[in-house]
Amino acid sequence: MPPNVLLLVSVDTEDDNWHPRREGVTVENVRELPRLAALFRRLGVRATYFTTYQVAIRDWAAGLLRELRTGGAEIAAHLHPWNTPPLDEALVPRNSMLKNLPAALQLAKLERLTVALREAVGVQPRAFRAGRYALGPDTVAALLRCGYAIDSSVTPFVSWADTDDGPTFVGAPVDAYRVGQTGDARIPVPDGGLLEMPMSIGYNRTPFAVWDAVRRALASRPLRPLHLTGLAARLGIVKRIFLSPEIQSVPDMLALSRCLIDGGARQLHMFFHSPSLRPGLSPHSPTAAAVQRLYDGIASYVEALSRTTSLTFATVSEAAAALEHRPAGERTVVNARQASTT
């Protein structure tokens, strides 16, 4: 019998503006969510919508969020620091990474977002994702103070350090694990107060730690002008794959899923951004045809995976609850700590 696997699908439900801004912010892409929800109902997906402050404060958008929740979705928190009050910091690239802000300001922004979401949908959000994945120790402490139980900001095998001094998640586990409010978010803390539900990222072959080291060597500064990572990916030698229909093909997503499952993972976490649901708002969906390819990719992936794997669809919080109650012998954590953490 194939193992039962939890399939999570999360959507960063956010502003139309792909690049950080404070003036002229719009959220018209949120009007596309009913179409997406109809696809999810057909497939059986129970989605989680990580939602920003700018979406939550619009009455019409809040109404759509309430409808999604009534239909079985989870409304979670997604913090874009550049336009979530208080706006005490300068609007500069480094400050778009939440982890780089003072601890008190991170907490204040999270408090405002939490209140806005609670007022929008009538319940306290339990799960969180940092904008630009910028989770830091002070963020974890703020989440615990504000009553969150789950984070989903970790992108295994990816470093954002060269992007506005973002975090690195090279070496983080690819399966669920607990984190504490001090130290490195990549290192599991068995009694940590927050459950980390990372997004599914890995490689087209195992062991991931070995191929991650190979890819990182090819991407090193001396070799970067040769573009060897792109060549290796095109040749199928080593290819880093995100479980995201925005940027990956269905065959690649299925290959990653099989590697994860064969390696012991019992959850798969697909993710993408709501602006990609409307043409021209994200670099991933410049045209209506690209948007249709996104929808088709979601459906094809779920349908193909369900033919080979016993799937249970769950929101992020539902998956967290299921994993917490799983017998200890089944709580396999696929860990990538063997890879370089620089």
What is the reported pLDDT for 191?
A: 93
- The b-or-e profile of 234-255 (16+ CB within 10 A means b, else e) is eeebbbbbbbbbbebebebbbb
The band of 324, judged by pLDDT with boundaries at 50, 70 and 90, is confident
| Position 334 pLDDT exceeds 50 | no
| Position 145 pLDDT exceeds 70 | yes
| Position 338 pLDDT exceeds 60 | no
φ and ψ at residue 23, rounded to 5 degrees: -100, 145
Closest C-alpha among 28, 79, 71 to residue 50:
79
Q: Is the bond into 251 cis (omega within 30 degrees of 0)? A: no
CA distances from 88 to 83, 92, 109, 129, 232 (A): 10, 12, 10, 21, 45
198 vs 224, more confident: 198
Q: Where are the beta strands (DSSP E) in 191-302?
A: 194-196, 201-203, 240-242, 267-273
Rounded to whole angstroms, the Cα distance separating 166 from 88 reads: 20
Closest C-alpha among 163, 152, 217 to residue 185:
152
Q: What is the pLDDT of residues 279-303, one digit of tens each?
A: 999 999 999 999 999 999 999 999 9
Rounded to whole angstroms, the Cα distance separating 6 from 171 reads: 23
The band of 2, judged by pLDDT with boundaries at 50, 70 and 90, is low
The token pair at 7 is: 């399939």
Average pLDDT over residues 103-112: 98
Query: Tokens 């994200």 map to which residue?
Result: 282
Average pLDDT over residues 304-322: 96
| Position 332 pLDDT exceeds 50 | no
Strands 177-179 and 194-196: what pairing?
antiparallel
| Position 311 pLDDT exceeds 50 | yes
Domains of the chain: 4-202+241-330 (3.20.20.370)
Q: What is the pLDDT of residues 165-180, one digit of tens each?
A: 999 999 999 999 999 9
Q: What is the pLDDT of residues 226-285, one digit of tens each?
A: 999 999 999 999 999 999 999 999 999 999 999 999 999 999 999 999 999 999 999 999
What is the reported pLDDT for 331?
A: 41
Q: Is 330 exposed, middle or buried (0-12, 13-18, 19+ CB in 10 A)?
A: exposed
Length of the chain: 342
Count other C-beta atoms under 10 Å from residue 205's C-beta. Answer: 15
Closest C-alpha among 139, 67, 70, 77 to residue 106:
139
The band of 327, judged by pLDDT with boundaries at 50, 70 and 90, is low
| Position 319 pLDDT exceeds 80 | yes
Count other C-beta atoms under 10 Å from residue 70's C-beta. Answer: 9
What is the reported pLDDT for 326?
A: 63
The band of 135, judged by pLDDT with boundaries at 50, 70 and 90, is very high
Q: What is the pTM of this model?
A: 0.94
86 vs 3, more confident: 86
What is the reported pLDDT for 309?
A: 95
